[in-house]
Structure 1
Amino acid sequence: MREKQQVSIFWFRRDLRLDDNAGLYHALKSGESVLPLFIFDTLILDKLEDLDDARVTFIHKAIAGLDQELQKYGSSILVKHGAPTEVWIQLLNEYNIKAVYTNHDFEPYAKSRDESVSQILKSKGLELLTYKDHVIFEKQEILKDDGSPYTVFTPYKRKWLEKLNPDFHLKAYPTKKYLKNLLQIPPFEIPALEQLGFSTSSIDFPDKEYQDVIEQYNGTRDFPALDGTSRISVHLRFGTISIREAGSAAFEASEKTWLSELIWRDFYAMILWYFPYTAKSSFRREFDGITWINREEDFKAWCEGNTGYPIVDAGMRQLNTTGWMHNRVRMITASFLCKHLLVDWRWGEAYFARKLIDYDMASNVGGWQWAAGTGNDAAPYFRVFSPDLQTKKFDPKLEYVKKWVPEFSDPFKYVQPIVDHRYARQRALDAYKAGLGKI
C-alpha cells in the first residue's frame, strides 16, 4: 500500500492571489510542504440561475492564472468540485495532512461551512487555522468604549482612523520569501467550465489598475457618465487584489474619499458578522411591519430597465449587460424599487446577488437596507429620492442615460413612467408610517 503524502493544505476561497496573502503566508512559513487547494462548491454553484454566471468565469480564470504562477515554483493547485465536507473527507483519505490553513469568511453560509469542515478536521486531530485577510479591521477590532459594536458609520470611521497604524495594518505579508515551501508536484488538471456545468461569460472584466482615479475620486465618483471610479470591486471581492495594497494606496493619497469607501467595506463586514440576521431581515426590527406591494410586473419592469425613469432604466441595463453598476446609480435604483414601487428590498438584493460580478453580501445587504431605510445608519424612511432630480444633478447632459437607453430621445419609443413620482412618494410615506405603527 502506497504511503500517503504528508502535506499542509492552504485552502483558497476569496483570496485568489499568491502575493500578500495572510493565510498562505502562515502556511508557507510553517516550513511544511504546502498543497494549494480550491473547491468549486456545489452547494453554492447549484443555486446559481445563469449557466454563464460571470463570477464563475472570473474565478475559473483567476484559478488558471494562479496555477500558472505556482508552476513557476514547481507546484500546482488542486481543484476539487463538490460539497466541501465531502471533499475534505476525501482529502483526509488521500493525504497525510499535518495542518489546514485558510482565511476568514464572514457570510452566514461560510461560517456554517467552516464549522462543519472544522468538526471533520477535529475528528482527525486537526484544526482549521484561519486568518484575517479580506478586510483591514474585522469583528471585534473596532468597538465602542463599552465593548459593543458600532452601528453608525461616522463614529466607527473615527475610531477606525484612530486605531490605524499604516506600518502595521497595511503592511504586506512577504509571501514570496517562502514560496520554496510549496509542495513540488506536476501540474494538476483544472476542470473546464463545462465540466462544472457552466459556460464562459461574455462579460469583460475590469483590470487591476486603480491608481489614476484615486486623487480625483471625490470629484468624479458621483457622475456615472465619467470613468471616475476604480472598478476594482470584483478584485477585492475575490481577493485578486490585496485589501492592504488598496488601503495603502488610499492612505497615501492626498484625497481621502477612496479610503472612506474601504472603511465602509470594513463597517458592513463587521455589521454582518455581529448581526447575521440582517442578511434576510431588517436591521431595525421596527420596519418588519411594512406591507410591501410586491407586484411581479413592476419588479419585472425594474429588472429589465423599463420603468419609464431613464436613470433607473440606464442603471439596470448597465447591470444586465456588464455585471456592474455605478455606485450612485445603485442607490437610485434601490431606492426606486423599495419606495416608488414598494417592492421588498430583499427582492432587489437577490437580483443584485444574481447579476453583480462584485457581489459581496455584507456590502450589498448594507447598501440595500440603507436605501430602503431599514438598516443601521440608513437614509431616513421619509427620504424618497427623485430620479429626475438625481439625473439633473449627476447626469445633466444625459450622457449616461443616452448610452444605456438610446430610445429615450424618441417619446414614441420610450415607455411611459410606471408610476407618478408624487403619488409614489406619498404612498411610500403612508406605507412606512403604517408599518411602523404596527410595532
Structure 2
Amino acid sequence: MTRNFFGTDGIRGRTNQMPMTAAMAQRVGQAAGAHFLRGGHRHRVVLGKDTRLSGYMMETALISGFTSVGMDVVMVGPMPTPAVALLARSMRADLGVMISASHNPFEDNGIKLFGPDGYKLSDADEAAIEALLEREPKLVPPAEIGRARRIEDARGRYIHAAKMTFPEHLRLDGLKVVVDCANGAAYQVAPAALWELGADVVAIGVSPNGTNINDGCGSTSPDLLKWTVTSSGADIGIALDGDADRLIVVDEKGEVVDGDQLMALIASAWHRRGALMGGGVVATVMSNLGLERFLEGQGLTLERTQVGDRYVLETMRTRGFNVGGEQSGHIILSDYATTGDGLVAALQVLAELVTSGQPASALLRQFEPLPQLLKNVRFDGGAPLEAASVKSAIASAEARLQGNGRLLIRKSGTEPLIRVMAEGEDEALVHELVDSICDAVKAA
C-alpha cells in the first residue's frame, strides 16, 4: 500500500496545512484508536507533546479522536519522546502518541505512534491506520465515549527511569555540565536528572515560549552550547533536540562530537565489560567510514541500514544488537529504551567521563573520521533526482571517487530536502563533488 501520510518517523508537516491540521489529527486519533481496540479491557492511550505552539491544537484534536472511538487518554504534557514510549509500556497502554516534529522549526509538527510494547509502529500497523483514514470512523455510543485525564507525576517517573541507567556506584559530583534542551520537551527533566546525580548544571534552551523550539539552540544548532561551555569553563556540554531523542556533545574546548563518536565510545566501553551484544553496532549508511574501521580494529562489526532510526532498531531487534543509532545523534540503547533517548545516551557518556578521569576532548575522540560533507537542497516539488542532468552529475562524481569513498544522495523522509553526502580520503575532492551535485539539483 502507498504511504500517503506516514514518513520515516510518523506523520509530519507544516501546521494548519495537510496533513498537520486539527481535522486530520482527529482522524488519526480515530483511526489509530480503532486499530488498537483489541480485547475486552478498558483501552488507554498515553499522549505527550513537545513545546510547540501548535501542540495544544493537535493535542485537543487527538483527544477528540481517541475518545470518540472509545479510548481513554492519559495526558502527560511536555515530555521527551522516549518518555512517552516508556510510560505507554509501564502504564499498560494500548498506544503511545508523541506530538512533535523533532528537530524541525516550530511551524512544523508531527505525530509519532508507539505500540503497547513501547516500540514505534511496524509498516503493517501504519498501513492499516492509513487504510482506516480513508473510511468513515466507527463512533461509539455515548456511554462508551473515552475519558481524558492528566497525570502530574509523569516527569518524576521518567527522571527516575533515566537515572536508573546510570551506574549506581558513580556520581557526577565536581563535573560541570552544560545542557541545552532546545527549548523543547526535556527542558525540565534533563537538568533535573543531571542535578540529582550531583552535576553542577548550567541549563540553556529551557525557556520555551511556543515558537523558539530548536531556534538557534539544541542539537542542530550547537553554537550557543559551544560558547556556553567554553565561557563557563564547563567540562562537557550536551545538546538535545526538540523531543529529546537526539544527542550531540561538545567537549571542554568547544568542539562538537557527533553520534558516530558517541556510539564508538559506548560500544567500546560495553565491549570491554562484556555487555555489548550482537558483536558490534547498527548504524545507517550516513555513518562515517572511520567508525566502521574503528570497530573492525576491535573485532566488531558495523551493520548499516537505510536512514531512519526505525530501521536501525528493526535490525537491532532481529539480529540481537543492543547499541545502534545515527550520526545525527539518535542513539538507541535497547537495554534501557525502546527508541532513541538523548538523556540516557548522555548519561552513558558522562559515566565514561567520570570513570576515565580524562578530559572530554581526549575521551570522545575515539577515531579519526574520513572527510565527509553533507549539504541539503530544498525543493518545492517535482522529482529533481530523476532529471538527466542530476543523474549525469552523480555518475561523474562516482567516477571521480574511483572507489576511494562513498556517495549518498537521497530525499529526506521528514522535510522537502534533497540530502547530498560524499565521503573520501581527499577533502577538497569531497567538497567539489558535493557542490557539483547540489548545483545540478538546484538547476533541476
Q: Under TM normalisation by the shorter chain, which class is it?
A: under 0.3
* Structure showing greater Rg: 1
Q: When you count helix as a share of all residues, which structure comes out higher?
A: 1
TM-score of the aligned structures, taking structure 1 as reference length: 0.25
TM-score (norm 2): 0.25
Name whichever structure is richer in strand by fraction: 2
